[in-house]
Structure 1
């Protein structure tokens, strides 16, 4: 049963997708939950370089992922797909990175043995190396077809398919007054007839955001206050 926190969206005939305030998306026709740009271990990588950032981002991200999965309730779920950049930096480059990320994700994965988990390799994954066997992840090259969708890390046009990707960490700026401006993470979907690419917000707890350049015909859903809301085209 679809819970209130999920927002069902029909992009076109045969293109149904649900959006979640965490930044996750769900393809009901394929029982697949998608997340992009988790960047696990990013905070640990920065601390290794001497940057004083808080710890706990990996645990927070995995907790959010567990909440997104649980929020589906009894809705069938067969696949969890990471749309690239699961890891931020090379595994084992530092003892802290290996311990914090490796142990946390190994434990998280062990609690969900029946879930098929896939990783569509992104640019950070190619640098970090493949996940260890105990994470039990199927590795996919982009574009990975799933019905009418093409699952990618980097946004790209794929003939005969609608692309779902990450990589950009999209956000949209909203003006609240002469000197007030707010940036919100967003789901960004191009017109299926002219620019068949949709971009998910970054899922990771410790990631940056980059403003989008909204085009005529684009549809944008901003994430704020644990809700997903479509923004009218007039806000372009």
Structure 2
């Protein structure tokens, strides 16, 4: 099973990873979008019966990626915390414990729309917060998928998914990467997120994720 797919964008190699992230070998950087830490806690604060453990699950997956790849930098492409209610004590304590496991790892958050509502991460997490677009080499790291005049954009925000049609009315929704001229969309890293349907187009490459693997369509 293929767990990553190598692409060259704007002259630099990136790896699309089966676990909804990008690894950039040249920069030893991991890029994830839309983790939405504390989303379940925010819903519970509103009286909604949603499952526990999503923050722990997301952090465990992130740990696994950092163990697997040689990383000096993590870029969060927006929506680190979901809402003001995400600052529940248990969520913040889990994040603090996670950060203590990676004391030397540089972390940067490109502020997204949910970050503007939730507020920046606690300063104790030592995450540099910047506005978009954030230019690194030939790439523009963003939350919103707005075009950039000179750099290839890596962005999140829309949580791209692809529907596979089975027999009858059966449909399977899977997270995906969408790659087209000037723009690559990352799937939402968070487990507890919705999705926006991506449809095939002549100038668009779609990479579907499922069962620990990644495969290109077409």
TM-score band, normalised by the shorter chain?
Answer: over 0.9
Distance in 2 separating the partners of 1:5 and 1:170: 19
Distance in 1 separating the partners of 2:90 and 2:111: 21
TM-score, structure 1 as length reference: 0.88
Contact 2:41 2:88 survives alignment (8 Å): no
Deviation at 1:6, TM superposition (A): 2.7
TM-score, structure 2 as length reference: 0.95
- In structure 2, the residue matched to 1:36 is 33
- In structure 2, the residue matched to 1:143 is 133
- In structure 1, the residue matched to 2:57 is 60
Deviation at 1:25, TM superposition (A): 0.4
> Which residue among 75, 79, 94 is the counterpart of 1:81?
75
- In structure 2, the residue matched to 1:9 is 7
Deviation at 1:228, TM superposition (A): 0.7
Deviation at 1:120, TM superposition (A): 0.3
Deviation at 1:16, TM superposition (A): 1.6
SS of equivalent residue, structure 1 residue 29: helix
Taking the TM superposition and a 5 Å limit, the aligned residue runs for 1:1-236 are 5-11=3-9, 14-72=11-69, 75=70, 77-90=71-84, 93=85, 97-191=87-181, 196-232=182-218
Runs of 4+ in 1 over 3 A off after TM superposition: none
Distance in 1 separating the partners of 2:134 and 2:198: 24
Deviation at 1:178, TM superposition (A): 2.9
CA RMSD of aligned residues (A): 1.4
Any stretches of 5+ residues in structure 1 without a counterpart?
Answer: none
Distance in 2 separating the partners of 1:130 and 1:47: 21
Contact 1:41 1:100 survives alignment (8 Å): no
Show CA shifts across 1:134-169 (max 9, x none): 100011110100111000001011011100000000
